Amino acid sequence: MDEILTGRENLRLVGKLRHLPNANSKAVELLKRFDLFDAADRRGATYSGGMRRKLDLAMSLIGSPSLVFLDEPTTGLDPQGRIAMWEIIKDLSQTGVTVFLTTQYLDEADQLADHIAILNEGKIVAEGTSAELKSLIPPGHI
């Protein structure tokens, strides 16, 4: 995100770089979807951490991708911002977008992931659904 540009301008820029014929209307749609419409004409430098995360995600969705990689999207967010981001990620998944998510928060993986892979020193040491992984742990130990 360019901090000098407004939220609207950031989205329009990405839309134009992607050669979208409807970059302006797509920007408005995403500003509304991510609850950023009231801040659309403020410079990015004035956005809170949560607003920046939302705008970053909106910018990545302007071309309607079928696959999105999110690297720890809720790190540093307050509890309210974290829950809002969870809802956005769930909505993406429900609309058919495949989401690859990295997180250090087990509750986040439990809430958002259909399939989980646990890495240790760059190698997958366990993978499966949340229920499958929980069944591998002795009762009372997490």
- Domain architecture of the chain: domains with CATH: 1-63 (no CATH), 65-142 (3.40.50.300)
Give whole-number Cα distances, 69 to 35, 61, 102, 103, 121, in Å: 21, 11, 8, 11, 20
User: What confidence category does residue 85 fall into, taking pLDDT thresholds of 50, 70 and 90?
Assistant: confident
Helix (H), strand (E) at residue 8: helix 7-17
Q: What is the mean pLDDT of the chain?
A: 90
Least Cα distance to 6 among 35, 34, 50, 39 occurs for 39
Q: What is the pLDDT of residue 141?
A: 59
* pLDDT at position 7: 96
